[in-house]
Amino acid sequence: MLCERAVAVVVVAASLCACGGRTDHDRAGSDDADHADPNSVGGSVADNAGMGAAAGQRGGGASGGVEATTAGVVTAGTHDNRGGAEAGEQGSDAPCTQCDGECVDLSSSVAHCGACDRECVATDRENEVSCSAGRCVSTCAAGYANVGRPEAPAADDGCEVNLSTSLDHCGALHRACASAHVRERICEEGLCTSSCEDGWANQSRPAAPAPDDGCELPVATMVCLPEGYCIDSTEVTQSQYQAWLDATPAPSTSEQIAACSWNESFEPDSGCFGGSDVHKGTGWENHPMVCIDWCDAYAYCRGVEKRLCGKIGGGADAYGDYGNAELSQWYNACVSGGANNTYPYGTEYEADACNDRDHGALSTVPVKSMTDCQSTVSGYVGVYDLSGNAKEWEDSCAGHAGQTDHCRHRGCSFDCEDPELDLRCASGGNARRDYANHDIGFRCCAG
């Protein structure tokens, strides 16, 4: 039987250890040491390596033997000191941890990955589960991702991320729904559909893997009225409309309603917008957007998640209901729910309250600059320029045939011939759906 004590280093003159004493052969080897090869240890390096190997076989593990080095130094094995029977059962290098009486390799066991009773999660979210170096590794089903991968002893969470609804991994791993100008981040079916702060819209909504850009489009702020809907506080401005045209992806004419299928562009009418009587360009960005037809206005409002003002409760207002405060969104806002039954600011005409001919500008002015052109009734304050400045398209048309239908425009403009008569809230002008003019603009509603 070999000595159970491991030999650390054996030098040239050393004797091999033997349990129960030295043999005659050992003594002979010692007596001849002076005549031995200086590179040998009780014989050749190869012989000693062979002895070590034989001892290792008898001992059942690497620790029972010795290893030879080119310098003639032999070191003891270090992997297993348990002896023949026990080491032989487990194999030469297999790690073993007792888990409920069972010898377990924690580096690869799916049921005991990194720690006893730490099982790798396997649900319908995981296609395949394995344990590598004590960490659970999951191959995820479509629409799921394994982001956390916690280390032991923390419990495994598998493919814990749902890419259809995760705010930080919406549609793709590490694709977060942006927070810029966002009221509430929302991920639906892998698409960021966040609700926006007042004055901003989420128009582009890029699909994964493109990064989300939040609520990127500046729009008019809104005033929410007691009747349960909201209306733009001002007419849509040139800069707001241009931002919509410049958005990525660009607005598509292919998505218009049937009555607008003839409309091939949302750009303002070039003949109208290029006229000398239209203020435009640098310095005029806050003027009302004019020279657009009814279909352009309708598409813009829908494109920024609003709608062209129509019927209270939804849909278009009937062509003959333009003077009914219980039905028309635009008219209800203008008369403050009925409290002011003539003009936005009251019952009597005021020559300089709004931008009309009596004001003398004879062109559009920046929205909201006529500070008296609004209601003073609680709940309706802050809606500007419902009279004057620019006429406003309304979702109220006499038919649904297409471009020749006549649709309502409201509020008259800076160019109305009889301001006291034409600027009344009850006035209801009209023009063809495809008509564009230097004094016709629009605003949007919601709800």
> 3-class secondary structure for 364-424?
CCCCCCCCCCCCCCCCCCCCCCCCCCCEEEEEEECCCCCCCCEEEEECCCCCCCCHHHHCC
Structural domain includes residue 8:
no
pLDDT at residue 197, as a whole number = 97
Structural domain includes residue 112:
yes
Beta bridge partners of 223: 231
Query: Same domain for 403 and 367?
Result: yes
What CATH number is given to the structural domain containing 354? 3.90.1580.10
Query: Same domain for 285 and 411?
Result: yes
Query: Same domain for 400 and 299?
Result: yes
Are residues 302 and 252 in contact, defined by beta-carbon separation less than 8 angstroms?
no
User: Where in the sequence is the domain holding 141, given as residue range(s)?
Assistant: 95-162
For residue 376, CA distances in Å to 246, 384, 424 come to: 37, 11, 16
Among the listed residues 265, 218, 221, 264, the one whose alpha carbon sits nearest the alpha carbon of residue 238: 218
Q: Which long-range contacts (CB under 8 A, 24 or more apart) does 82-88 make?
A: 83/4, 83/59, 84/58, 84/59, 84/60, 85/60, 86/60, 87/59, 87/60, 87/61, 88/60, 88/61
User: How many folded domains does the chain comprise?
Assistant: 4
Distance between alpha carbon 332 and the CA centroid of its chain, in Å? 38
Query: Same domain for 319 and 402?
Result: yes
Query: Same domain for 205 and 232?
Result: no
Structural domain includes residue 3:
no
Structural domain includes residue 260:
yes
Contact partners, residue 422, CB within 8 Å, separation at least 6: 412, 416
Structural domain includes residue 263:
yes
Q: What's the rounded Cα separation, in Å, for the pair 370 and 354?
A: 6
Query: Same domain for 194 and 270?
Result: no
Low-confidence ranges of the chain (pLDDT < 70): 1-94
3-state secondary structure at position 184: strand
Q: What's the rounded Cα separation, in Å, for the pair 95 and 80?
A: 10
Can you say whether the dihedral through the CA atoms of 24, 25, 27, 28 is positive or negative?
positive
Query: Same domain for 291 and 413?
Result: yes
pLDDT at residue 403, as a whole number = 96
pLDDT at residue 340, as a whole number = 85
pLDDT at residue 419, as a whole number = 94
**Matching residue, tokens 């829908």:** 302
Structural domain includes residue 248:
yes
Q: What's the rounded Cα separation, in Å, for the pair 168 and 333?
A: 40
Query: Same domain for 194 and 103?
Result: no
Of 172, 195, 216, at which residue does a domain stop? 216
pTM of the model: 0.73
pLDDT at residue 94, as a whole number = 64
Cβ burial of 388 (10 Å; 0-12, 13-18, 19+) is buried
Query: Same domain for 243 and 392?
Result: yes
Structural domain includes residue 2:
no
Amino acid (one-letter) located at 240:
Q
Of 51, 71, 90, at which residue does a domain stop? 90
Q: What's the rounded Cα separation, in Å, for the pair 355 and 91?
A: 95
Can you say whether the dihedral through the CA atoms of 208, 214, 217, 220 is positive or negative?
positive
- For 313, the token pair is 């409760």
Among the listed residues 116, 114, 178, the one whose alpha carbon sits nearest the alpha carbon of residue 152: 114
Contact partners, residue 56, CB within 8 Å, separation at least 6: 62, 63, 64, 65, 77
Are residues 370 and 353 in contact, defined by beta-carbon separation less than 8 angstroms?
yes
Q: What's the rounded Cα separation, in Å, for the pair 433 and 146?
A: 54
pLDDT at residue 276, as a whole number = 81
Query: Same domain for 225 and 342?
Result: yes
H or E, element range at 54: helix 45-59
Query: Same domain for 101 and 49?
Result: no
For residue 375, CA distances in Å to 222, 233, 391 come to: 15, 11, 18
Structural domain includes residue 16:
no
Query: Same domain for 384 and 435?
Result: yes
Terminal Cα-to-Cα distance of the chain (whole angstroms): 94
**Matching residue, tokens 């009302």:** 288
Of 90, 121, 148, at which residue does a domain stop? 90
